[in-house]
Chains A and B, each alone.
Chain A
Amino acid sequence: MIRVEHFYKNYGPYPAVIDVSFEVLKGEIVGFLGPNGAGKTTTMRSITGYLPPTSGNITVSGYDTVKYSLDARRHIGYLPETVPLYLDMTVTDYLSFMGKIRGMNQKWINERIDKVIDHVRLGDYRNTHVGKLSKGYRQRTGIAQAILHEPDVLIMDEPTIGIDPIQVVETRELISELGESHTLLISSHILPEVSAICPRVLVISDGRIVADDKPANLSNRLSGTERIEAGISGTKIDSIISNLRKIDSVIDVRSDSRAEQIDQGKKENFIPIVVDAKTNENATEKIAKSIVDSGWGLRNLTPLPMTLEEIFLQLTQEN
């Protein structure tokens, strides 16, 4: 459905995307994961025909996005990062305009508007001006226009950015539903979000694809280590470090250098530490046992999620 071959894109002398190749098959849901500025939006804009590649080929449903741009565009539903809406139109007028501009006839438009509004649950707002809708409902209107013309391929750039948590959950459910009948490419900079929706993830960093895998495999590759923070009282930092390092799952122990943690430690009279440990070896349990056995006070023990920056650092260092 989407085939990207040796895609390069430069903005002036600056390369934004370097030699990216991948293929998305019919019916696949693929997550496009990367930090801001990695080249996600650029790649998506080239797939939709908005920006031509500097070199390389992109085809959608068999149509080259440069040579047969109009044909390729007919097969794409696109939701850009800033949801593109005419604020002074009603939801129905907006969808009707988008349908016409994509060459749908009036009968087809009327049929689809009813279905699509139902699908994205916008029924109560069909005659409301788009400018008066909340961010979440605007997002749904954006999704509605993308699926209106029954495209083969759906491309969504950061579809859950800037909406509240409840609506994020609803939007994710909606996207999962859409995945049953469309080929989907979704970008995000949030790993758990992509893992929740997509069976396959492409990771892009500094314009290069650094991983193409299932989210589960990705997590295993990434989380060779986990990080745990702890607050310990009734002893000295040196004895904590020497004791905890004896545990075989522990890789490193050091005092926590974050100002907030240090302050809290002083106030409540404990020593904040950070432990790096191997995953899947119950390190947390072993650490807790060791502390208690030593007769110290255990104030807190919390696994820290890895930040996206650390994940990318790890992936890019691997390559």
Chain B
Amino acid sequence: MKNIYIILMKEIKTYFASPMAYIVSAAYLAITGFFFVASVSDAFSEATIRGYLAGATFFMIFMSPAITMRLIAEEQKLGTLELLLTSPVKEVEVVLGKFFASLATVIVMIVFSLYFVVLLYIFGDPDSGPLLNGIFGLLLYSSATLAIGLFASSLSPNQIVGLIVGSGILTSLTIIDFISNRVTGIGSEILSFLQLGASFSVFDLGSLGVAESGHFADFSRGIFSLVDVIFYISVTIVFLLLTIVILESRRWR
């Protein structure tokens, strides 16, 4: 546990000492802000954070791998991974420390963006339940995307490979409904179950912010669904385990 905390603190310190932190945070606020404004600025529009959530889930496809890309790749490139793994530290501690560090940075960004919620309370009368549920869902969704990004980062010493592979996996899992809508039977069900976030229907202004499919759809509508919670936690665990396996694979290669 102590080692996880030591690695977590080191990563957070490094992250916020780099310009990356501020560029990514600014881009996050800009894009979610754009979606938020678009969803609430019509006359008689609902006081919800659906637009914000749509923007966040969309941007996370690129942002999560951008946050995680250096976490393991850079350690491989600098050779410091060898040093960490010849210190009395276990692979699982390295992976968890880095994962929680990335989650903490995303939480910081989400907290910064909460002024949208304050605005809603000032100018409207939002339902608190769906709002909290939406943010809870966003945290779960973030952790799944970060775990996938971390896994991608472990594949090569090159950060760019981590970014592209991570974004590639996340994009595929997002637009998987393009395929699942075109096949039938059990195959279609399996594929649509794998759909991670909202599909690109978020770009359809008519349904802006209301994901039609994917595990984020219910969170976006303000509905709590245990299946989706379990799905996101499972994806997180599976990809963290895969990352540990990649780090341990040097032993049998």
Contacts and interface: CB of A to CB of B under 8 A. Distances in A.
A150 B235 CA distance: 42
A20 interface: no
B42 interface: no
Nearest to B80: A84
B26 interface: no
B85 A50 contact: yes
Contact of B86 (A78, A83, A87): A78
B3 A101 contact: yes
Contacts of B79: 80, 82-84
B251 A52 contact: yes
A146 B6 CA distance: 19
A97 interface: yes
Contact of A73 (B3, B80, B81, B86): B86
Q: Looking at chain B's contact residues, is the secondary structure mostly helix, strand, loop, or mixed?
A: helix
A89 B87 CA distance: 19
A100 B17 contact: no
A87 to B, nearest CB: 7
B251 A74 contact: no
Contacts of B78: 82, 84-87
Contacts of B84: 101
Contacts of A89: 14
Interface in A1-19: 11-12
Given A51-B251, A97-B6, A97-B10, A80 B88 contact: no
B14 A51 contact: no
Contact of A101 (B6, B82, B253): B6
Given A73-B88, A102-B88, A84 B14 contact: no
Interface residues of B, number: 24
Contacts of A102: 87-88
A84 B83 contact: yes
Given A84-B83, A88-B14, A103 B88 contact: yes
Contacts of B89: 101
Q: Looking at chain A's contact residues, is the secondary structure mostly helix, strand, loop, or mixed?
A: loop
Contact of A50 (B6, B17, B86): B86
Contacts of A11: 253
Nearest to A78: B86
Nearest to A100: B6
B86 A76 contact: yes
A88 B15 CA distance: 10
Given A86-B80, A88-B17, A100-B6, A12 B253 contact: yes
Interface string B67-101: 00000000000111111111111100000000000
B86 A48 contact: yes
Contacts of A86: 14, 78, 80
Interface in A39-95: 45, 48-52, 70-71, 73-74, 76, 78, 80, 82-89
A98 interface: yes
Given A45-B82, A84-B80, A101-B88, 19 more contacts: A11-B253, A48-B86, A50-B86, A50-B250, A51-B250, A73-B88, A74-B88, A80-B82, A82-B79, A84-B78, A86-B80, A89-B14, A97-B6, A97-B10, A101-B84, A101-B87, A102-B87, A102-B88, A103-B88
Interface of B: 2-3, 6-7, 10, 14, 17-18, 78-90, 250-251, 253
21 contacts: A11-B253, A49-B86, A50-B85, A50-B86, A50-B250, A52-B251, A70-B88, A71-B88, A73-B88, A78-B86, A80-B82, A82-B79, A84-B78, A84-B80, A86-B14, A86-B80, A88-B18, A97-B6, A101-B7, A102-B88, A103-B88
Interface of A: 11-12, 45, 48-52, 70-71, 73-74, 76, 78, 80, 82-89, 97-98, 100-103, 145
